[in-house]
Structures are given as C-alpha cells and as structure tokens.
Structure 1
Amino acid sequence: MLTVHHLGISQSDRIVWLCEELGIEYDLRRYERDPVTRLAPEVYRALHPFGTAPVITDEKFVLGESAAIVEYLIATRGGEALARRAGDPDFADYLFWFNFANSSMMPALMTSMVVGLLGGGDRARPLLARGDRAYAMIEARLGSVPYLAGQSFSAADIMMHFPLTTGRVFAPRDISGYPNILAYLQRIAARPAYVRAMAKAEPDFTAPLT
C-alpha cells in the first residue's frame, strides 16, 4: 500500500494531488506543524534521513523529494499521460517547467522569505530580482498556452502550482498584475482532482489563488 505522509501546508500537497489525478489507492497520513516553530514534528522528520516533506512509503520503500516522488508515481502507477517524453513536441517545455519549480522558483521564493525576515533594504533588491524574472517568464508563457508544458495539463503544473500559491504564505507576493497567472490558477482550482486533494490534505486551509 502506498502511504503519503503529508505535512500540513507544505510541498506534499503535490503528492496528494497527483494521487487524485491518477486515481490510485493510497493511505493519507497527515501531520501538523509545531505551533511555535512552524516546523515539521519530530515524528515526521524521523521518516526520512533528510527530514523534510514530502515523504512516501510504498511497502518498505521510503522516498523523499517531491520531484522524485512525482516521477516515481508516474512511472509505477500508470501516470504517463501527465508526463511528456522524447519525441513529444512539448517535451522540452515539460522538462524545463517541471524542473524550474524546485531548481529556480523555490530558491527565489526562499530568498524572498529570508529577505523579508531580515528586513530587506536596498541591498536586497538584486536578490529579489530573480523572483521578478520568474514571474515575468511564467506570465509570458501562460499568455501563449493554457498550461506550462503546452496545451494540456501535466505534472509540470503540479510542480509549479505550489510556489505560485501555498508558497506565498511563506513569502507574500502581490500577483494582481499577472492576469495570465491568475487565470491559470483558476483553471487549476476547477480541476476535480485538485478540489478532492485539497479537501483531504488541507481541510482547514485555502491556498491563495489571487
């Protein structure tokens, strides 16, 4: 049995959502953050040597890192429709946005969060420029296609959705000036699998979509 160990308000939202998209059977175990530190509880950190979310267990197999888990579930649970492979015209775009989520977008978000905690100032402006460039790129991309990999929804959207929504809880950003991103987030929010996933994973939390 596949078990998704879900830490509240974290990147493990992606894994619950993917499971719902694929219609696979899974056991959801939810863990609350420490009310003071807002970090994962000790029992969650003990699941995997690195101690971060998300984590899955598949029988005796333990796997961390959301991108790795998404790739694993697509490969083992019949999720190829959500991937793009060599020969597909959207292959390069899929690879870029799937990897951009954690390789560039999340570091930009974390930089913004740290700058905010330290008070910002003029010296921080070059550090924040990466986030500005990222949003400009995403806005431009979504002005030409409905989904990041192209004309249809893919795992790249599952990966990118977190920094555009829940990630802004940790690093607030006004996105009112990005109409294509706003429209995209509404398209995602209307997906039945996304609605089911958030109801199960985050019953007391609404991801910011505006």
Structure 2
Amino acid sequence: MVQGFKRAAFSNEAGVGSAAIAHSAAKTKEPVREGIVALLEPFIDTIIVCTMTGLVIVITGHYAGGSSAEVAEPFAAVNNGAGLTSTVFASEISWFPHVLSAAVVLFAFSTMISWSYYGERCWAWLFGDGSSMVYRVLFLIMVFLGSIITSTNVLDFGDLMILGMAFPNVLGLYFLSGDVKKDLDAYMKKLKNGDFDSEKIT
C-alpha cells in the first residue's frame, strides 16, 4: 500500500503544488475555473489509467498470491512496475508491449519537460531570470546521472523530493483553505445565476 501511495504521488503529483506552476500561466478571468480543470488531471491519471492497469494485473492473477504469482515475483523484487505491466498485457495481447514501450518513452520525455519547466520557474523566482541557464545545465547533469544509476535510486530520490514539496504545500493549503472556499462559493454562485452564459470562456 505504501508503494502504491508513493507511485500515485509520483504519477499525478496531487498535493505537491507543482501543477500550480503550470496552471498559473493560463490566461483566464476565473482562477477557480482553472483549478477545476486541474482537478481532472489526477482523476484521469490515477483513478482511470492506474486503476485500469491494477485491475488487469489482478484479473490476470499476476500478483503475489495470484494464480500467476511466479511471473510477478522477479519484477516485484527489483521494483520494476513497467516490466510487470508489459508482461501482464503481453499474456493477453501479444503486441501490447510495443505500445507500452512507446507510452513509457513519451511519459518519461513529457515528465522531463514539465519538471524542467517547474524547476526553472522556481529557480528564476529565487535567483532571477538571468540565471536560468545555470539551472538548465544542472538539470541536464541530473538527467545524465539519472540515466546511469539504478531506477530504484532515482525513484527513491524523486519520492524524497516530492515529500519535501508536499509538506509546505499541504501546510499552505490548510492556511489558505478559507480563501479557496470563499472564491469557490463566489464562483459557484455566479455559475448558478447564469453570469457566465453569455461569456466567452477564456
């Protein structure tokens, strides 16, 4: 269960505060509207995609104690979820590992782009836009190091950093929850009154 929570946080970053960096760049007259859009991300990512993957593993018996547990054990021993998923799907759809490989590559690439952007925005806020090149060089060094060390170390480091971001963010959410509720109530009141009916959504 702990592993599930760790991978879920790594997957959708809910509660970490990183997504706010991307959504703050959106142009909208109603910040609450953008917040509602942001809520869809963890729902699609975790509730739909990850749940479907987990159900396939359970239904096919590729889990500890399942009918095909011997297949899952080597992957569990080295914490290789992608390998397990590929093997499980291949047992039912022979060509699916190719699709999964492409999805993993795209996910890894898009994650590097988004995390690079998040980090650069934070770096620029701390040290100014003129120092962004320093961050980019450091980021490239980290990408290289991530490619030559074990995935377990990368994931452990990522989990630690996500936890480090979550603590201050959750604390901030607690103190700002009253303001958020006030803005949400005001937005919902406008929505019920039809104030947005003639407005072009931006």
Q: What's the TM-score once normalised by structure 1's chain length?
A: 0.29
Greater fraction helix: 2
Q: What's the TM-score once normalised by structure 2's chain length?
A: 0.29
The structure with more radius of gyration: 2
Instruction: Say which structure, 1 or 2, has more relative contact order (CA 8 Å, 6+ apart).
Output: 2
Greater fraction strand: 1
